[in-house]
Amino acid sequence: MSDKGAKSEDSKAAAKVDAAGKKKSVMDKLPPVLGKKASKSSEPGADTGKTKKKYTFQDRIKDIKTGIAELKANMKEKKNQFASAGGSGPVGSQGPAIPRGRQMLYPYTFTAKIAQFPYRFHWEKSWYFKYFLLGSLVSWPLFVIIGRKSNTPANVEEWRKHREELFGTHTSS
């Protein structure tokens, strides 16, 4: 048993030292990262002697100028789209509105909730929704007729007399 233990300790020690006799670290096993140069070794993909050009302040300024130029081009394109859609200027101008491609994340106002309600989906998938609306539309004229007949001056006077007989003269109306 002691031979096996000695062999495993020797192999562990050999694994920590490379061919040149230098100790290996965990960092040597990691791939090169941004800002860290790859170590020169015989491993595949290692740096072959060519050094990368250093990213300078002038390069950064050039990138910023390129980005600003792209933004200006995009703004000009949007302005052309607005003009072709019939808009003639800033907010409040005459002309058709450009339809926006984004929907509200959450409809906060009651009007927005009504506008975004999925009516067609509920009409097709929910029998309760469908028959509730149909029943409401069919019975609405009946309710209007009953309400008009019950509030005629003759009917109001008749019910005032009826309540007077039932409750006496101390009624609120």
Residue 32 pLDDT grade (very low, low, confident, very high; cuts 50, 70, 90): low
> What does residue 17 show for φ and ψ, rounded to 5 degrees?
-120, 130
What are the residue boundaries of the structural domains of the chain, listed by start? 55-88, 119-167
Measuring CA to CA, how many Å separate 79 from each of 71, 75, 82, 83, 84? 12, 6, 5, 6, 9
Q: Which residues lie closer than 8 Å to 107 by C-beta, 6 or more apart?
A: 113, 115, 116
- 24 Cα distance to chain centroid: 48
Distance CA 26, CA 49 (A): 23
pLDDT in tens, 105-151: 888 899 989 988 999 999 999 999 999 999 999 999 999 999 999 99
